[in-house]
Amino acid sequence: MATDIRVMATLRRMTPADLPTAHDLSREAKWPHRIEDWEMMLALGDGQVAVIDDTVVGTALTWRFGADTDPAKAATIGMVIVSPAAQGMGIGRRLMEALLGEVAGRSVMLNATEEGLPLYRKLGFVETGAIVQHQGAAFAVPVAELIPGERVRPLGAKDDDTLHALARAATGMDRSALLDAIVPGAQGVMLTRENEPVGFALFRRFGRGYLVGPVVAPDAGGAKALISHWLGSNAGAFCRLDVPEDSDISEWLEELGLPQVGRVVTMVHGPVPVTDPTTRLFSLTTQALG
């Protein structure tokens, strides 16, 4: 007698012991995450796994930004993967419904692959934009073109509050805990204009090589100055950036030799977080974390 897989799948909280199997699932989906990337993401958030016969066949993670009392409290969802053999049986929907229950009352953002779009639309997510993924190792080293009064300098020990404020302005979310977790393992620079900090960019290990992100700047010129700093000092390294499609730097990245290799659709469930129009996010921390 045929067994109905829908009856057999159970959901439970993800633990660090699940990460090797989760890593296998992401590799099967041709995603570049290292086990270290999974570890970092689980440490910062909460995950659910779907299990059949003691085998993890599905994953989904969520990250909360801002305390429950923060009027701008938000969350992101990512690493939503169901093993190909178990797809189309409602497991993706169950994982998503479990996470949406955990972060009820928050605006929830995610970046959807083509495969994920139908599921997220059915759950009430609406499209707000798109992210294009640029990457490569054979890029031309750009010359950082600074305007008068502009400077790119290393991050200092006293910059934490400034980073938190710039990230909040650019995303509309409290990214303090996320930044505090990733800055120690990253290199960072600050963009100043007339000695005032107006943007920053981190450079970190991720996936197949390095990731330039997050990048926060007041305009495309400032973002290019920050990105040029990292590309200029890492010629030949495999570098990746996930940039908003409407950010006006995608064409420039193509011209440098960092081709667009993918596109995901940004979606929101609930109100869109309110950002400060003078400060923009030009490159994500990761597609999952936003």
Ligand X SMILES: CC(C)(COP(=O)(O)OP(=O)(O)OC[C@H]1O[C@@H](n2cnc3c(N)ncnc32)[C@H](O)[C@@H]1OP(=O)(O)O)[C@@H](O)C(=O)NCCC(=O)NCCS
Using CB under 6 A, list all residues that contact ligand X. 29, 80-82, 87-93, 112-113, 115-116, 118-119, 122
**Cβ at position 187, least distance to ligand X in Å:** 29
Smaller CB separation from ligand X, 110 or 152: 110
Of 51, 129, 35, 139, whose CA–CA distance to 95 is shortest?
51
Minimum distance from residue 246 beta carbon to ligand X (Å): 20
CA distances from 41 to 93, 244, 289, 290 (A): 21, 21, 8, 12
Q: Which of 198, 174, 194 is nearest to 282 (CA)?
A: 198
For residues 91 and 170, which CB has a smaller minimum distance to ligand X in the complex? 91
Query: Parallel, antiparallel, or unpaired for β 239-244 and 209-217?
Result: parallel
Query: What minimum distance in Å lies between the beta carbon of 267 and ligand X?
Result: 9
Q: Which is nearer to ligand X, 49 or 81 (CB)?
A: 81
Comparing C-alpha atoms, which of 101, 119, 102 is closest to residue 110? 119
Cα 225 versus chain centre, distance: 21
Q: Nearest approach, Cβ of 149 to ligand X (angstroms)?
A: 41
**Which of 200, 210, 190, 132 minimizes the C-alpha distance to 168?**
200
Q: Are strands 280-283 and 260-269 parallel, antiparallel or unpaired?
A: unpaired
Q: How far is the CB of 96 from ligand X (least distance, A)?
A: 8
Q: How far is the CB of 50 from ligand X (least distance, A)?
A: 8
Question: Whose Cβ is closer to ligand X: residue 93's or residue 151's?
Answer: 93
Q: Which is nearer to ligand X, 90 or 129 (CB)?
A: 90
Place of tokens 């992101």: 76
Task: Report the distance separating Cα 174 and Cα 76, nearest Å.
Answer: 12
CB of 33 to ligand X, least distance (A): 12
Handedness of CA 218, 220, 225, 229 (dihedral sign): positive
- Nearer residue to ligand X within complex by CB, 20 or 185: 20
C-alpha span between 108 and 125 (Å, rounded) = 9
Q: Rounded to whole angstroms, how far apart are CA atoms 35 and 40? A: 9
Please identify, using beta-carbon distances, which residue of 79 and 231 lies nearer to ligand X. 79
